[in-house]
Structure 1
Amino acid sequence: MNSRVIFIIAFIAIMTGLYGIYDLVNNNDPVAVENTPQQKDIHYFSLWKTTKNIHKGSKVTDAELVRVTLPEDEALALGISHDVELNRDSTTLFRGDIPEGKWVFPEMLATKGSPGYLHLITDTDMTLYPLSVSTRNLITDYIQPGDRIDVVAVSSPSANLAQSENLGLDSFSGVSADVLLSGVKVISIAQDNEYGIDPVVKASEGTMSTVVIEVNPDILPVLTLAQRTSYLEIYLNQPGRIHQGVDVSDVIKNYSGVLELRGSGHTHY
């Protein structure tokens, strides 16, 4: 009895195993391999965009620009196949007006020495003039490009005081000091090359200095004559102040400038 039960159990086990092997063989179909497309490397390029409206001639600073990274396909649509690099030096200027949110490219900027640069640093209807002035009362580094200055002229009807080092005069008659120009903008000073300007007028070292200023063209004849007849100094402009011209009698007490003849000698009062 026991042997019969064992035989039946063994037979069932064998048949189950054979069925499993048969099922495994019949279902051994090749597994489909999913072809996953290989992802292509995406390249990015850096560009620059304005953050606000830009005015012609204004300086390039980080406040007006923001760096933007674009995928290669978007950059190519703009005609860009490489990173855009801008010269953001303190002297670089915008060549024209640019609205907020527009792309900025190198050709939209002007650097010192490039064509048209001087026109950008000069206001509309103004011109540049290299003025030779005395360094006697000029404080080192006190006046900088961009400052507003007053030009004072000391003149005499009897002597040429142009480029005079010591203002030695035989007579004080008619000598006066007047503010020739007030509130004019300084573009460059002597060897200061912030804007890449080489002054046309070269000054003698130590006593004179050349200051490039921005003036109205109508004043050029006055400047030309003053530079060749008067002693010139410059001072930092103080907005709102009214400067009065003075003569020697305002400085030397009891001086009247009256010429009195005594024998063969001359006496001034």
Structure 2
Amino acid sequence: MRVIAAFAVIPMLLGLAAASASAQAPGAFDPREHRQHLYGAPTQVLVIGTPHLSGAPDDFDPAVLEPILERLAAFGPDIIAIENLSGESVHALKTYEAVYPESADWFGGRFLRLAAVAEAETGLGMPAAEAEARRLLAALPENPTPAQRRRLAAVLTAAGDAYSALVQWWRLDAAERRAGDGISGELAVLLDEYETRRNESHMIAVRLAVRLGLDRVYPVDDHHGDDIMGDAVIDDMRVFMEQADFAAHIASPEFQYLAERPSASERLKMHWRPTGF
């Protein structure tokens, strides 16, 4: 089995050189030597790190992603994981909103809005839609009809899995991307908006899934630890900013490249400058 996991790793750029050096250290642990006898071929995992494409400049051309998509398609993953919350996770965070204030709306607000639109047409709330989506996926024939794909797209959206819904939507011929079979006119418009929205989850992961003939992607992000962080995030950041190597991080070419983009400038200041607290 081959798995691709696509994540945004802006902070990790600063640690790549150190990680590379430590990987060559004498006596470093090699997981391939941990178990000499494997039953079946080991799973191959490829991890992609990218700045969030939502922060790309206005003149960003999606065509520049084509060489990446070609190489990923050559890798041929069976499963594509994305850095997004699953519908189950968003629903749980929203249900326990008093414990996780703003987490669901901040990290899954669009999924909630799309799910509400889909529920109005399908009559399925998020838990029921998740169960129905699993049933439909398990029974999906090799060559689904357009009506089956529209129905699955509607149910996946209602379940809070908008990116998997988009896989089904984009696997339809353009003329078949229309209202019907659980897709309302409003939902069809909202799904079509992803053609011009910028996000690595659909510009890379969903496009790749469609190209490979996969039926879904797998959201694997999690924010159930947000309740234990609280002010510690701010306090720890202050401690980090007082460390001797903080200036080196700020001066690094990687950080400066990200900071130069107008759309990312204010966000970076908020996270990394004293004025952000």
Higher relative contact order (CA 8 A, sep 6+): 2
Instruction: Name the TM-score, length of structure 2 as normaliser.
Output: 0.20
Query: Which structure has the bigger radius of gyration?
Result: 1
Structure with more strand by fraction: 1
